[in-house]
């Protein structure tokens, strides 16, 4: 099973710019620093919807801007 996904470089840059430590985000989500690092770098499992929601509420950011693949967020849904 391939657990890789696109790294969240924009969110990592946001954390760095705001001076937020990854350990703070890990604690917020109730996970280890290692697990969070794997989420951020695309080497482990992806964030759950609940985790994305928690992060967006805490840091007042948009899931579309920081977590969604631009190809997915910009595509239109086609219905039959």
Q: What is the pLDDT of residues 25-76, one digit of tens each?
A: 999 999 999 999 999 999 988 999 999 999 999 999 999 999 886 554 444 4
> Domain 9-62 class?
mainly alpha
Q: Which of the four pLDDT bands, split at 50, 70 and 90, describes residue 6?
A: confident
What pLDDT, on the 0 to 100 scale, is given for residue 3? 67
User: What value does the mean pLDDT take over residues 75-79?
Assistant: 43
DSSP letter (8 states) at residue 45: P
The pLDDT of residue 44 is 86
Both structure tokens of 8:
């969240």
Q: Are 39 and 26 in contact (CB under 8 A)?
A: no
Per-residue pLDDT at 70: 53
Token pair belonging to 2: 């391939």
Asked whether the whole model's pTM tops 0.75, one would answer yes
Tokens 């482990």 belong to residue:
44
Termini Cα distance of the chain: 32
């Amino acid at each position: 099973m391939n657990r890789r996904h696109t790294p969240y470089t924009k969110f990592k840059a946001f954390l760095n710019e705001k001076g937020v430590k990854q350990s703070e985000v890990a604690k917020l989500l109730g996970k280890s620093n290692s697990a969070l690092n794997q989420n951020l770098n695309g080497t482990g499992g992806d964030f759950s919807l609940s985790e994305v929601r928690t992060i967006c509420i805490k840091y007042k950011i948009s899931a579309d801007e920081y977590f969604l693949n631009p190809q997915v967020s910009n595509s239109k849904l086609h219905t039959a």
